Chain A
């Protein structure tokens, strides 16, 4: 000590720096808060049909209209029961609102008799909303072969 002069004793810090932890957490929090969109309607849980060719539809969310068709032929649009013959009058103003870019996602029960599907399609045609997606769940090949 005397001959070598003053040597600085380096004290290694044994703690993990946690001062920026809160910043990181808030950053992530704000990201998720901003990117979360809450659906405007209550999703109805129906048994949807399965298809191997299920594809993601590349279209802005605001252009989508969900039309639910239940097993007894009742149609629900935006949480409201719409009588079959009034579907076109409900869809038509929405079609105009979206600059005629409306895509209808027809979410029908897989066991609904086809007569209702045909009627609802004719209503869409009447409202000139001709872009329709039949909502399906992806069918895995493996499960299909096992059946």
Chain B
């Protein structure tokens, strides 16, 4: 196709897209306009029904709990897939024996990075645990808190060396944490069945609105999802580092 023909085809297509886009945008509701009947219903009854002030958490782990079980296993499958793909292949080797910048020593981790990350390890652990534990009360929950708990692992890696991370994060504990976390959610759901109601319906005492142990099974689910996400994501990070190191060593 000649450039001239190509330009004409593009201009016609682009004009079409612009018209369609403008037409669609013109029909959008105003910014912040909300037509969701379902949302209003949950806002009106959510706190009363589940004694949990973070309605988002109630939706994710109760009203839409079954969806979330599925989502959790998407992450679970992804985490299983990473070690599988990154496993140490038999014929794999690396060429890092060749020095591409001879006579120039690689700069080590700067003291600034080291001090800053060392100082951030403890606060990030605390923030992660807080986010998990208060999931049913304030913004946050198992997924968010679990993801925050990956940060300390990154900080340990940045502050020290990979080998140090290796001694802090034993593989078996991570595997165990990931499995237990994923299974915990499913088991909590089964408790609802055993109690004679639907899967994932609450069978635990609901407690007082606003206290840490309120919301029935929500805190238990938050902790188990937090465990799964934290262990799973750390495992992925660990696998990447481990694999690079193993290949390089040969």
Question: Is chain B found bound to chain A in the same assembly?
Answer: no
A interface residues with partner B (beta carbon < 8 Å): none
